[in-house]
Amino acid sequence: MAVPDVSGKTLSELISLRGRAAVITGGARGIGLAIAERLAEAGAAVLLGDVRAEEGQAAAERIAARYQVRALFAQVDVTDSDSVRALAQKAVQELGSLDIWVNNAGIYPSDALLEMSDEQWDRVLDINLRGTFLGAREAARCMIQGQRGGVIINLASTAGYQGGAGLAHYVSSKHAVRGLTKSLAIELGPYNIRVLALAPTLIRTPGIAELRQSMTASGAPDALGESFGEHLPLGRAGVPDDVARVALFCASDLAMLMTGSTLAVDAGALTM
Ligand SMILES: NC(=O)c1ccc[n+]([C@@H]2O[C@H](COP(=O)([O-])OP(=O)(O)OC[C@H]3O[C@@H](n4cnc5c(N)ncnc54)[C@H](O)[C@@H]3O)[C@@H](O)[C@H]2O)c1
């Protein structure tokens, strides 16, 4: 099997996700929510999975009303394989298929190496790396069964290329997500499942706001403050929709011949 040649399609046909169903982990807020919104705007039915039930449920209801698509929420812990399997099953059973899976749930605490506990290390690797593996495995199983190919998008980071003080666990997890993306692309290509990753620079999300708060509360300098990004080639940090538009491109037929790569959404950070 090979991916189809879609060059005869119009631009609006290529970007359309009508008739497709997408799961977005960590979809209750931040980058995941923005991705869910753009996919829904393009016509996809969406299922948001998150540990945050109230925010997630409210987000799904807003999306359904705004974009006139089916939008559901399910509570999920991406570190738990039963929970992830149930999320994938729900997509197939209630949305009719599973075509797009976004492994977005992730955490980025700041922990200095010398004080880092085993539990702090494991938690970051569990959510960011094991969660991505579990999500990709369940998504691939359902997509292969559905026999219509699919797209898996993993959230890496510029930290998947660069080191960072206080971020040994996070940096390791995001480097690994890039490697995982390449391997999955090779294994799943024969099923017409494309696997891509995104590497954002700093994006202003609720998670980043919480990190800034905890860093300044502990007396650390506010390295993620408003001036972050001014030195970057494109002059600013990102907002969630900066990443969501690239995710939409990857999920759509516009990116039909792309798999295995990590797309930087970084204002040029990685060129420096
Ligand atoms: N914001 C940035 O600057 C930035 C930069 C590069 C990469 N990223 C990556 O983008 C992704 C999203 O980041 P964000 O800034 O939007 O974060 P956020 O904290 O604002 O949102 C993350 C969401 O994931 C959910 N989540 C966390 N653990 C979970 C679990 N075990 N199971 C299910 N859901 C869980 C949270 O409840 C939350 O709703 C992460 O993978 C992060 O590493 C973020």
Closest ligand 1 atom to Cα of 155: 41
Q: Is residue 30 part of a domain?
A: yes
Convert the pLDDT of each residue in 9-50 to its tens digit: 999 999 999 999 999 999 999 999 999 999 999 999 999 999
Q: How far apart are the C-alpha atoms of 77 and 50, rounded to whole Å?
A: 7
- Structural domain harbouring 53: 11-203+241-263
Q: Token match 């060059």: residue?
A: 7
CATH of residue 15's domain is 3.40.50.720
Q: Is residue 175 part of a domain?
A: yes
Would residue 161 show up in a list of annotated catalytic residues for this protein? no
User: Taking Cα atoms as reference points, which of 70, 228, 56 lies closest to residue 158?
Assistant: 228
Q: In total, how many domains does the chain have?
A: 1
Q: Is residue 235 part of a domain?
A: no
- Tell the residue nearest (CA) to atom 23 of ligand 1: 26
Q: How far is the CA of 3 from the centre of ligand 1 (A)?
A: 31
Q: Is residue 226 part of a domain?
A: no
SS3 category, 22: strand
Task: Say what the pLDDT of residue 151 is.
Answer: 99
DSSP at 96: S
Q: Is residue 86 part of a domain?
A: yes
Q: Is residue 211 part of a domain?
A: no
Task: Say what the pLDDT of residue 9 is.
Answer: 98
Closest ligand 1 atom to Cα of 203: 3
For 120-136, what is the mean pLDDT?
99
- Of 108, 161, 170, 191, which residue is the catalytic one? 170
pTM for this predicted structure: 0.99
Q: Calculate what percentage of the chain has a pLDDT beyond 90.
A: 97
Q: Is residue 23 part of a domain?
A: yes
Give the mean pLDDT of the chain. Answer: 98
Q: How far apart are the C-alpha atoms of 165 and 134, rounded to whole Å?
A: 28
Q: Is the pLDDT of residue 221 over 90?
A: no
Q: Which of 87, 104, 241 to mutate to test the pocket of ligand 1 (most atoms within 8 A of CB)?
A: 104
Q: Is residue 85 part of a domain?
A: yes
Burial of 96 (0-12, 13-18, 19+ CB in 10 A): middle
Task: Say what the pLDDT of residue 1 is.
Answer: 81
Q: How far apart are the C-alpha atoms of 94 and 91, rounded to whole Å?
A: 5
Closest ligand 1 atom to Cα of 237: 3
Convert the pLDDT of each residue in 66-105 to its tens digit: 999 999 999 999 999 999 999 999 999 999 999 999 999 9
